[in-house]
Amino acid sequence: MSHDLLNILSNSNKDIDNQKLMDYLSGKLSAGEKHEVEKWMADNEFVNDAMEGLEQANQDNNLPQYIDQLNKTLSQYISQKKQRRGKRRFAIPAWSHLAVLLILALAIIVYFIIRKFQGG
């Protein structure tokens, strides 16, 4: 069985070993072990849906192609998201920092001049 399938189940419930799930998909389990996995799947609807999807993908024998397609789609989505995020950034030119400092310096100087004339 493909190592990529084991990665799909890496965050699954630890009640049943991931290898046992993969063996279930391959039909390598004894009747008792198979019953144990099916009971666990019946108790957890999410796991049941995931296993049905894995069984379907496994039956198509195109699993490596599906994985490659998913990885490409995910990479494209992430790169598009980074580009959109980059476009949203407001680019502040270096001269604007100097302008702000100059305005602050002028405001401080004006404050002290006004204070000197009022107090003096």
Range 36-55 average pLDDT: 80
Does 50 have pLDDT greater than 90?
no
Q: Which domain holds residue 96?
A: 91-120
Q: Could you tell me which residues come within 8 angstroms of residue 42 by beta carbon, excluding any fewer than 6 positions away?
A: 48
Most confident of 24-28, 51-55, 99-103: 99-103
Range 74-98 average pLDDT: 82
Count of domains for the chain: 2
The pLDDT of residue 92: 75
> Whole-angstrom Cα distance, residue 107 to residue 75?
50
Share of the chain above pLDDT 70, in %: 72
Residue whose tokens read 């009022």? 118
Rounded to the nearest integer, the mean pLDDT of the chain is: 78
Same domain, 30 and 70: yes
Same domain, 108 and 81: no
How confident is the model over 14-32, as pLDDT tens digits?
Answer: 556 667 777 777 788 888 8
